[in-house]
Amino acid sequence: MPKIVVLPHEELCPEGAVLEAESGETVLDVALRNGIGIEHACEKSCACTTCHVVIREGFDSLNESDELEDDMLDKAWGLEPESRLGCQARVADEDLVVEIPRYTLNLASEAAH
């Protein structure tokens, strides 16, 4: 069973965590199931960037991103070559090390009303 090591995040996971995952689960679903409240404003439909994560180890084991995810990621704060949307990145059979970026852009809640 693959593991996801979540690096410490000041607000969401101050101590970091080691999570067990099933192959085929998304990084976001594993985090949420374990009480790590990564934002997901579009309810996991690949329509925002609030669940942006950086895969520090194991990136090549993930399913490939599609054009829609790549287009969304272009709008993410702090984009890196190993960035993925947590709702789209599916665990294979290799362990992952994941960093949750310090900031996220939630256009739904940050837009002027």
- Please name every residue paired with 4 in a beta bridge, in sequence order, or none if there are none: 19, 96
pLDDT tens string 77-96? 899 999 999 999 999 999 99
Residue type at 34 in one-letter notation: N
Structure tokens at 52: 């942006």
Per-residue pLDDT, averaged over 23-40, amounts to 97
Domain 3-103 has CATH 3.30.1330.10: no
Give residue 106's pLDDT band: very low, low, confident or very high (50, 70, 90).
Answer: low
In the chain, what are the domain boundaries? 3-103
**Considering the chain, what percentage of its residues have pLDDT values greater than 90?**
88
Structure tokens at 105: 């852009």
- Please name every residue paired with 90 in a beta bridge, in sequence order, or none if there are none: 26
Tell me the pTM: 0.90
Residue of higher predicted confidence among 2 and 113 = 2
pLDDT tens string 68-79? 999 999 999 899
Nearest to 4 by CA among 14, 18, 16: 18
DSSP secondary structure string, 2-62?
A: -EEEEPPBTTTBTT-EEEE--TT-BHHHHHHHTT-----TTSSSSS-STTEEEEEE-GGGS
